[in-house]
Structure 1
Amino acid sequence: MVDAEIRELMQSFVLSDYQVQELYKRFNDEISKGLNRTTNALANTKCFPTYVQDLPTGDEIGKYLALDLGGTNFRVLLVTLKGHHEDTVESQIYAVPKELMIGPGVDLFDHIAECLAKFVEKHDMGSAYLPLGFTFSFPCVQMGLKEAILARWTKGFKCPGVVQEDVGRLLREAIHRRGDVDIAVVAILNDTTGTLMSCAHRNPKCRIGVIVGTGCNACYVERVDRVDLLKPEFKRDKKHVLVNTEWGAFGESGQLEFVRTEYDREVDRTSLNVSSQLFEKMVSGMYLGPIVGLVLLRALENNVIFKRDSKRMEFAAALRANPNSFHTKYISEIESDLFPEFTITRGILQDLFGTEKASIEDCLKLKYICECVAQRAATLIGIGISVLLNRIEEKDTVVGIDGSVYRFHPKFDAYMRKTIDKLAKDKIYDIMLSEDGSGRGAALVAAVASKQK
């Protein structure tokens, strides 16, 4: 048990039933606004049609390339689809150096094209025609399956010359400049679309894809008559289309102010994209660690933790000097740690502050801080998933999820389900961890697109 002082410090992270219900209502209203052409400009959740209208059957056959860019690394994959819901995946991870994340866009795409060429050469596919699905995990307006206009950069990217440009064209031009590989960019998609497609390949009931990793987003299958932004010709022969909600931006019009804390505001204030992606900043891996770091700093300053440690203010000074030194992975590790040994927690505190042996009491307090921040994040994700589940007409739905926060946190799934069970009572649902979602899913979109041709 932790004492009243630490509970009081964390009270602003504990969402009441009223707050959960109100957030659900606001979230649902925002999705409706995003789907409507007349209100879309006012919506934070832009609900972009992806132009993906067919889910995989599991019978797809052939070799497809996939490119997955969504953070400080990107992956190139060769996916061999074998039918009968089977496939094999070979992949390589390449780094995106910091200077390329903020340098000219042409340099970034030239680097990607170079890595693609190396991958093709390594796998001895130089003479083959290679359809490629490009997972580009940033807010885009899809103009078609192969055309996506970047709305804005997120996740620390700031490359000039890319916003309001077609990223598919930029990649095709970079490949063409090299002239040494025959790669056809046949589809551009978001990582959530890839997650949904990857899970649907394994389980045909999948209708929602969610990412809770460095960033956070969701997509789902919506009826075409509800998607006002979809061009009329895409409504004639198909009943459904995948919608990329871009829900990370929820709250930019003030809808989250009644639950945001001073720590959320500080994290936002010091971010690269101030006042944007406010929902994402409460739930994703890029921000959860820094939030815990700020709470821990306040706890140290107010003599709530490490009370009997003479170096308490030195610890506070170290955190103040480097507020991002508390990494998000620590939250998962601390919540996985065993009482009363707290071997992992003590190791983290030694790395952070050089403290030799933190007390059980201090380890419990830190664990409670992590628990409150993670549980709030999972509750918020659960609210969003509940909104999408209730919008889908199927009674029995699978939700495909990927991302480091969901994948590695020991209780995130349970925290989420607790919220979904309250808000989507009439639905039968299951949550499926995506295997290589944003990569394999890109290849599957490329396969489905090639099959249509």
Structure 2
Amino acid sequence: MGMAVNNLPQIREECEVFHLTDKQIREIMSRLHNDLLKGLGKDSHATSIVKCWITYIQDLPNGKERGKFLALDLGGTNFRVLIINLGENHFDMQSKIYAIPNHIMTGTGVALFDHIAECLANFMKEHNVYEERLALGFTFSFPLKQLGLTKGILQRWTKGFSCSGVVGEDVVQGLKDAIARRGDVQIDICAILNDTTGTLMSCAWKNHNCKIGLIVGTGSNACYVEKTENCEMFDGEPGKSELLINTEWGAFGDDGTLDFVRTEFDRDVDVNSINPGKQIQEKMISGMYMGELVRLALVKFTRMGLLFGGHGSDLLFERGSFYTKYVSEIESDKLGDYTSCMEVLEELGLSHATEADMAGVRHVCESVSRRAAHLVSAGIATLLNKMAEPRVTVGIDGSVYRFHPHFHTLMCDKIAQLVGPGIHFDLMLSEDGSGRGAALVAAVACRQSLGVA
């Protein structure tokens, strides 16, 4: 083996396309702010890209919620059923994860809801509540047009789902029908919400400053508390000064507003996804796409002869083979240590990688994940500046935020640079927002319907 050539400087130069300048970030913030206003406005909502749906959740938990509740969490490749017992300052929670086979993710809506209802019934048997009548909170983490607390129309499938006969329909009705077809269990669906809302609710139960919910996981989205006077689409009962808005910001950029910062790798990911042209910002941020962005860059640099001596492997050239968890693992290595990186590259059939290659791979991972963190930070800073409150806690959930070793720090640093003077914020990791949050929404909804203050 001859002298190893150090290609790192050239790799760094190639990775500059992932670097967002402060000027670009300010421009992104201004465009997002504009899109949020369009989503909230009556005349502009229909054509707006960032939908800003009203969630119809007007009361945050006050810690006095009591009772036994079911929660259902559907938002990715599997779903969870939970039973939650709320008592004085404590929380008993048992849950079970059920897989959604691929043929059901891409089959009919009826089959999807029948599968969910069957799992619900089995779960109730296992936990000896099969005979009881329970209230359920339903976390449904896909773009929903909410028409009320228990009515949500699916706008589009995302994240690999494509069940027929559900888009444009009320998903609560879909689930109710499936439960009725079985005829063996009694469940009252009290509320439908998405995971950002659940995250906000679950954090607000403990921290009353929590007014933003954020997901950085398989997908990316945020919700926040808005003044009712700014919500022109709201047609519910007046008297509430604040409303929870589900931004659906994953779609930001669907009309080209982010093209000025997108790379050839982003375009490749998008064209080869199940929903081309949709969820453009999400595809630059979330866990479903991050590993693939890294892989595409590694492939390009290998073909340029900058990595692995120009010799890739079958796996490296295979779509989806570079998992997002690899990014977190590689970046978890201490500086100068490449243990995890070596393991990942061996798994990919790249055991001929040199230390210089590993430094290059790590730099690619850092470039992609840092850009994701900065994009999310730009979004959160836009919301914080819009809300203009002195102190806000951001409740956050999702695998990328939870498991990536530097995501939290990158976000803290960046948001601090981008918020206006006098705005203070905290980032709080949600403990299971989609499950606990769904139960809390059901509990708050039940508290209202029973007239219990």
> Which bin holds the TM-score, normalised by the shorter protein?
over 0.9
Amino acid at match of 1:43: S
Q: CA deviation at 1:72?
A: 0.6
The separation in 1 between residues aligned to 2:158 and 2:25, in whole angstroms, is 27
Contact 1:2 1:364 in 2 (8 A): no
**1:51-70 → structure 2 map (5 Å cutoff):** 51-70=56-75
| 4+ residue runs over 3 A deviation | none
Amino acid at match of 1:326: F
What whole-Å deviation, never above 9, does each CA across 1:192-227 have from its counterpart, x for those lacking one? 000000000010110000000001100001111111
**Match of 2:3?**
none
The separation in 2 between residues aligned to 1:155 and 1:253, in whole angstroms, is 19
Q: How many residue pairs are counted as aligned between the two chains?
A: 443
Q: Tell me which of 333, 337, 345 is aligned to 1:337.
A: 333
Gaps of 5+ in 2: 1-5
**1:8-407 → structure 2 map (5 Å cutoff):** 8-84=13-89, 86-231=90-235, 233-234=236-237, 236-307=238-309, 312-315=310-313, 317-320=314-317, 322-355=318-351, 358-407=353-402
Secondary structure of the 2:405 match is: coil
Q: CA deviation at 1:314?
A: 4.1
Q: With structure 2 as the length reference, what TM-score do the two structures score?
A: 0.96
Secondary structure of the 1:66 match is: strand
Contact 2:312 2:350 in 1 (8 A): no
Q: With structure 1 as the length reference, what TM-score do the two structures score?
A: 0.96
Q: Tell me which of 402, 424, 433 is aligned to 2:419.
A: 424
What whole-Å deviation, never above 9, does each CA across 1:271-313 have from its counterpart, x for those lacking one? 0100000000000000000000000000100011123xxxx43
- Root-mean-square deviation (CA, aligned residues, Å) is 1.2
Gaps of 5+ in 1: none
Amino acid at match of 2:427: I
The separation in 2 between residues aligned to 1:434 and 1:224, in whole angstroms, is 26
Contact 1:64 1:80 in 2 (8 A): yes
The separation in 2 between residues aligned to 1:59 and 1:327, in whole angstroms, is 42
Secondary structure of the 2:415 match is: helix
Q: CA deviation at 1:237?
A: 2.1
Q: CA deviation at 1:2?
A: 7.3
Contact 2:299 2:312 in 1 (8 A): no
What whole-Å deviation, never above 9, does each CA across 1:76-135 have from its counterpart, x for those lacking one? 011111133x31211000000000001010000000000000110000001211000000
Q: CA deviation at 1:361?
A: 1.4
Q: CA deviation at 1:353?
A: 1.5
The separation in 2 between residues aligned to 1:2 and 1:394, in whole angstroms, is 47
Amino acid at match of 1:293: R
Amino acid at match of 1:59: K
Alignment CA distance shift 1:318-1:126 (3 Å): closer
Contact 1:113 1:174 in 2 (8 A): yes
**Match of 1:451?**
447
The separation in 2 between residues aligned to 1:161 and 1:83, in whole angstroms, is 43
Amino acid at match of 2:259: E
Q: CA deviation at 1:425?
A: 3.6
Contact 2:292 2:322 in 1 (8 A): yes
The separation in 2 between residues aligned to 1:173 and 1:289, in whole angstroms, is 38
Secondary structure of the 2:258 match is: coil
Secondary structure of the 2:142 match is: coil
Alignment CA distance shift 1:5-1:354 (3 Å): closer
Secondary structure of the 1:202 match is: coil
